[in-house]
Structure 1
Amino acid sequence: MFKIAKGRISYLAVFGAVVFMTIQVIANLNLPSLTSDIVNNGVATGNISYIWKVGIKMIAFSLLSIVSAICNVFLAARTSQKLGQNLRSDIYRKVMTASTDEYNQIETSSLITRTTNDVVQIQNVAIMMLRMMIMAPIMLIGASFLAYNKDHTLTWIFLISLPLLALFMGVMLKFAMPMFQAMQTKTDRINRIFREGLTGVRVIRAFRQDQFEQDRFEDANVDYTKNAINVNTLLALAFPVMTLIMSGTNVAIIWYGAKLIGNQAMQVGNLIAFMTYAMQILMSFMMLSMVLIFIPRAQASAKRIQQVFDLRSTMKNTTQPEELAADAKHTLAFDHVTYRYRNAEEPALTDIDFSATSGQTVAIIGGTGSGKSTLINLIPRFYDIESGKIKLDGIDISQLPMAELRDAVSLVPQKATLFTGTLRENMKYGKPDATDEEIWHALDIARARDFVEAEPVGLDLHVEQGGGNFSGGQRQRLAIARALVKQASVYVFDDSFSALDFKTDADLRAALRRDEHIQQSITVIVAQRIATVADADLILVLDNGKLVGKGTHNELQKTNAVYQEIINSQIRKGEDK
């Protein structure tokens, strides 16, 4: 836990919290002695002036304790909250900058738990450590020393009560630790099922699996609840047992203290002070024990967070990056590229070889699972290839800074994702300084202008989470427009026309071909429909990760068997091909 806190907390604030807590404990330890003096030297002798004198001291120590406690709580709370803020920021930054291979190692639901629940556990223990963890040992040692000074004959009582407390807390720790560690895993499971239910609610309803999903969530929820009830029952049991031990200690002190007073071997004030110190000793021992109970849970959370930070990228970055030439004629080349997913036995792509230049459109077609999306994910370097080279403008993309490479590529993924905010904010995602004129131009090409203009607020139209206030086709066209706003060297459309009707698809592709900037760039299209790829300058035919054909539509329909099968599956016999 200290490892993840390093560099994320203010050491000056920690030092201040320790100083103020030390002052608070010292002030509290002086109060029982002053009470003893008032009883022994003031009340017993009727010396009112002495009572006022010592009473003023007690008020001063009390005020000092209150001020120190306020300062300690302020610094402890601020430090723990800043730690949580820094941890959440660093986790999010790590996830945002992680390679796809890294990101796939930890489930999304688990990442959510680690960013929220796990961080909260660490925050809670951090404030406990800056409060109770500092207070407990200082008070335990100080109160023990002062209690011994008041009357060492009664200290034997602690030889019974403290071992009993230690034994009980040890048994509690043994049973509580596994339960605390299991809580985080069970939280992951609830988050995963709940997230699947939210994202797949339409599928669940379409297949009438509402009850099945409710039962699945109920099982996870009951499992988590049972574990939480067990661990909290165990913690609830601690307080009555501790109270019993403390009450027994008080009874023993009063019993034997009264005998000592009766034998004139002890003063009444000393007995009162000894009882107060005894409570401080037992309370500090209890606080220390409670911290030790919660530390294992925080430690488990810290390990889970550290796993995120310890993810090591498989991306090999060059020590001597190159730069793309400005206003150069763009080229994209795959030079015998082979790629294999992590821990896969067979390559997902084998010996892919093609090239394209500015103004050309490359279309990729093939059956499901043939590697189309994998191929285009290699262009912005979401994955690193196993062998071969991918070159952009003649430069190996592994030699380019990641930011510069991705600035040169504009991608429309299979799933059209829009973000909460206004339409203008979404359109500026790839080009923050884009003008309204540029946005309207991109919307026009993407055939999205009509339904945006129909809204009274135009570009200020509110976009709900995930673009829920648009149809599937509208979301896809808006995602295409967003990509077109960005001035890129390579435009990649990953099956982005699937939600469009044939006419809109044809109109959109025609508009792309007419656009001046697109004519200076390279367009890569992944599609399932022959009509979408037929007019491409180069068509790549993939089958089981291998390039089984490349050429124009006319060439492939005459010579390539796989391409002919795709045509035959989409066009009825006798129709013009």
Structure 2
Amino acid sequence: MLSLCKRYLVWWAVVLAVAFLIIQVSCDLYLPTMTASIIDSGIAKGNLSYIWTQGIKMLGVSFIGIIAAGGNIFFAATQSQKMGRKIRSAMYRKVLYFADQDLDQFGDASLITRSTNDVVQIQYVMISVLRMMFMAPIMLIGAIFLAYTKSPRLTIVFLVALLILAVIVVAIMRYAVPLFRKLQKQTDKINLTFREGLTGVRVIRAFNRDPYEQKRFNQNNLGYRSLGIKVFMLVSLLFPIMTFILDGTNIGIVWFGGKMISHSTLVVGNLVAFMTYSTQILMSFMMLAMIFVFIPRAAASASRIKDVLDVDNSILDPQKSAEQNFSNAELQFKDVNFRYSNDEPMALQNINFHAKAGQTVAIIGSTGSGKSSLINLIPRLYDVTSGEIDVDGTPIKKMTQSELHQHISITQQKAVLFTGTVRSNMKMGNENASDDDIWHALDLAEASEFVKEAGGLGAKVDQNGDNFSGGQKQRLAIARTIIKKASIYIFDDSFSALDFKTDAKLRDKLRHDSLIQKAVLVIVAQRVSTIANADMIIILDHGKIVGRGTNQELKDHNPYYQSILNSQLKKEGK
């Protein structure tokens, strides 16, 4: 947690918070001494002017203490909240540049927990540290010293109380800290279950799995509840125990102090001040105990956040970008091999092909053959295990990811739309696009008609585009891809939700568009009809190229393509 503090705290503000705190504590410690002086030198002697003089001084000291407390709270609160904002921003930036394998390392649900719940834990502890953790030792030491000056003999009473409290706090922390760590992991499980339930609610209802999912969520929820009850019961025991010890300490002080007063070894004012100091001592110790209970939970959260911030990205940009010539669109795979991790088999083996501007490359194959894996290598969402990929004549490893992505436009297998409007979603592809450019892209994607019916470019887009059908979302995603000026356009199974007529019209428009004709077009598809007009069709099977050529060439000579074609013709009843 210290490393996060060094990164994200403004130290001059922390110094000011501590300075205000020292002033506040000094005022709090001085007030009991002034009270004792009023009792012994004013009330006991009937000196009214002394009482007024000291009373006014006490008001002044109290006012200074209030101002100092306000300053401390202001800087403590602002610094803890700003630290939380900076950590969340840093995590969001980090995650945005993660490669897909880096995202897989943590999981979506865990990343959400780390950027919300874990950050809140750190914020809570930081404001507690700047308030209580600095206040408690200063007040504890100061109160012990001042109490000792009032009566060394009575000091033994609260020293015994402190010893008992220390034993109790250590015992509680020994059991509470591991439970806090388990509680954070249980939070991950609840978030994961809840997220899956939200995203898959339609599937759950369709298969009538509501009772099963409710039971699964309740199991995790009950696990969180039982852990929470255990840990917070342990922590809550501190308050009644400390209250009991505090009351017992005060009784002991009054008992022994009264005897000392009767023997004229202690004055009444000092007894009152001593009781106040003993309360401050025990309250300071209680604050320290609470801090040391919650710090391990925040430390666990800080460790989880640090794991994200300190992870080395698996895909790195070169220190110096290569000189590039993007005069002609081009895509080339040279002996490319790829596996997701060292303990997994090759997902792609010995992939070679070369496509130039104006050509359409189609990739087809059975489920799990490696089509999407191949596509994800082009924008470097994953890095090749061996071999080389060239874009416009330059190896992609010699380009920064930003430069590479400027020349690639892609529609992923799952159409993703963002909350906003049709216009705002289209401008993600090209922020400088005019409305005419957007309408042109929508027309190419066969989306202009339903967009007009929805209310035009200002039409609302709900979260995940849920107010549009699957085919409409795909066409909007395709339009967003088209509107970007790129050397390579990639459509990863982006026509699957379209009917045959819309599919054919869309592909025809793409084929005759002047901008697309200057680029390489890569299409991944399941239907043969979608790729029949491609200049090069690549057939994948278990990560290997088992066929390459035009539609007619493969129909005549390739058994894999013939089997795919025959199976689809049977499905269509031909």
Q: TM-score, normalised by structure 2?
A: 0.99
Partners of 2:297 and 2:573 lie apart in 1 by 68
1:194 and 2:185 correspond: no
Show the counterpart of 1:342: 341
Paired position in structure 2 for 1:536: 534
Q: For 1:77-109, what per-residue CA distance to the aligned partner results, in whole angstroms no more than 9, with x for missing partners?
A: 000000100010011111001111111100111
Q: In structure 2, what is the Cα distance between the partners aligned to 1:39 and 1:4? A: 50
Task: Report SS of the residue matched to 1:170.
Answer: helix
State how 1:243-258 maps to structure 2 within 5 Å. Answer: 243-258=243-258
Alignment of 1:348-359 (within 5 A): 348-359=347-358
Q: CA deviation at 1:316?
A: 4.0
What is aligned with 2:266?
266
The structural deviation recorded for 1:574 is 12
Counterparts of 2:459 and 2:573, CA distance in 1: 44
Q: Can you list the C-alpha shifts for 1:211-257, whole angstroms capped at 9, x where unaligned?
A: 00000001111111111112221122111110111111101100000
Deviation of the 1:308 alpha carbon = 0.6
Check conservation: 1:352, 1:546, Cα contact below 8 A.
yes
The Cα of 1:4 is off from its aligned counterpart by: 1.5
- For residues 475 and 256 of structure 1, what CA distance do their matches in structure 2 show? 81
Are 2:44 and 1:38 aligned? Answer: no
**Counterpart of 1:108?**
108
Give the drift of 1:44.
0.4
In 1, the alpha carbon distance for the partners of 2:176 and 2:400 equals 49
2-structure distance, mates of 1:77, 1:151: 38
CA distance in 1, matches of 2:7, 2:323: 34
1:312 corresponds to which residue? 312
Amino acid at match of 1:417: V
Correspondent of 1:492 among 490, 493, 496: 490
Task: Give me the whole-angstrom Cα distance separating, in 2, the residues matched to 1:575 and 1:567.
Answer: 12
Runs of 4+ in 1 over 4 A off after TM superposition: 573-576
| Alpha-carbon distance between aligned partners in 1 of 2:76 and 2:4, rounded to the nearest angstrom | 17
SS at match of 1:296: helix
Q: Does 1:426 align with 2:425?
A: yes
Given that 1:445 and 1:508 are in contact with CA atoms closer than 8 Å, whether structure 2 keeps it comes out as yes
| Alignment root-mean-square deviation, CA | 1.2
Aligned length: 574
Tell me which residue corresponds to 1:448. 447
SS in 1 for 2:510: helix
In structure 1, what is the Cα distance between the partners aligned to 2:42 and 2:314? Answer: 77
Shift of 1:572: 3.4
Tell me how far 1:159 sits from its aligned partner.
Answer: 2.8
Whether 1:232 aligns to 2:232 is: yes
Residue in 1 that maps onto 2:275 = 275
Distance 2:341 2:163 in 1: 54
- What are the Cα deviations for residues 9-32 of structure 1, in whole angstroms up to 9, with x where unaligned? 110110000000000000110000
CA distance in 1, matches of 2:461, 2:411: 18
Shift of the alpha carbon at 1:311?
Answer: 1.6
Moved more, 226-235 or 534-543: 226-235
> Aligned AA for 1:174?
R
Give the Cα–Cα distance (whole angstroms) in 2 for the partners of residues 344 and 438 of structure 1: 47
What do the CA deviations read for 1:174-229 (whole angstroms, capped 9, x no partner)? 11111111111111000000000011111111111100000000111111111111
Distance 1:46 1:67 in 2: 33
Question: TM-score, with normalisation over the residues of structure 1?
Answer: 0.98
Matched, 1:180 2:180: yes
Write the distance in 1 (CA, Å) between the matches of 2:203 and 2:435. 38
C-alpha separation in 2, matches of 1:441 and 1:297: 55
- Superposed counterparts of 1:471-486, under 5 Å: 471-486=469-484
C-alpha distance in structure 2 between counterparts of 1:140 and 1:375, whole Å: 65
C-alpha distance in structure 1 between counterparts of 2:438 and 2:22, whole Å: 62
| Selected match of 1:546 from 544, 547, 557 | 544
CA contact (8 A) 1:373 1:494 kept: yes
Secondary structure in 1 matching 2:105: coil
Residue identity (%): 53
CA distance in 1: counterparts of 2:330 and 2:171, whole angstroms: 69
Partner of 2:130: 130
Residue 158 of structure 1: CA displacement?
Answer: 2.3
Q: Following the alignment from structure 2 to structure 1, what is the Cα–Cα distance between the partners of residues 440 and 396?
A: 30
**Quick one: distance in 1 between partners of 2:573 and 2:179?**
68
1:98 is paired with a residue whose SS is coil
Within the alignment, does 1:296 sit opposite 2:325 as a pair?
Answer: no
> AA paired with 1:55?
G
Residue 325 of structure 1 deviates from its aligned partner by 2.6
CA distance in 2, matches of 1:79, 1:129: 11
Query: Could you say what secondary structure the match of 2:106 adopts?
Result: coil
Tell me which amino acid in the other structure corresponds to 1:88.
Answer: R
**Deviation at 1:575?**
8.9
Given that 2:325 and 2:393 are in contact with CA atoms closer than 8 Å, whether structure 1 keeps it comes out as no
Distance 1:3 1:150, change over 3 A: same
The verdict on how the C-alpha distance between 1:462 and 1:573 changes in structure 2, with shifts beyond 3 A counting, is closer
The reply to whether residue 391 of structure 1 matches residue 371 of structure 2 is no
Equivalents in 2 of 1:399, 1:235: separation in Å? 56
- Report the residue type matching 1:396 in the other structure: P
Deviation at residue 6 of structure 1 after TM alignment: 1.6
Does 306-315 or 23-32 show the bigger shift?
306-315
Q: Distance in 1 between matches of 2:282 and 2:452?
A: 73
TM-superposed deviation, 1:454: 2.1
In structure 1, runs of 5+ residues without a counterpart are: none
Q: Distance in 2 between matches of 1:329 and 1:142?
A: 77
Would the aligned equivalents of 1:101 and 1:313 in 2 still touch at CA under 8 Å? Answer: no
User: How many Å apart are 1:560 and its aligned residue?
Assistant: 1.3
In 2, Cα distance between equivalents of 1:350 and 1:188? 37
- Give per-residue Cα distances to partners, 1:108-158, cap 9 Å, x unaligned: 111110010000000000000000001000000000000000111111112
Give the distance between the partners of 2:133 and 2:258, measured in 1 at CA: 34
Quote the Cα distance in structure 1 between the aligned partners of 2:65 and 2:117.
33
User: Which residue in the other structure is 1:369 paired with?
Assistant: 368
Comparing 405-414 and 307-316, the one that deviates more: 307-316
Change (3 A) 1:236 1:497: same
Task: Flag the 1:250–1:541 CA change in 2: closer, same or farther, 3 A.
Answer: same
**Equivalent in the alignment of 1:404:** 403
Structure 2 CA distance for aligned equivalents of residues 300 and 71 of structure 1: 30
Tell me by how many angstroms 1:414 deviates.
0.8
1: distance between equivalents of 2:87 and 2:404?
29
User: Is the 1:539–1:550 Cα contact (8 Å) retained in structure 2?
Assistant: yes
Residue 508 of structure 2, aligned match among 500, 507, 510 = 510
Q: Which amino acid aligns with 1:547?
A: I
Q: 1 CA distance for matches of 2:478 and 2:5?
A: 43
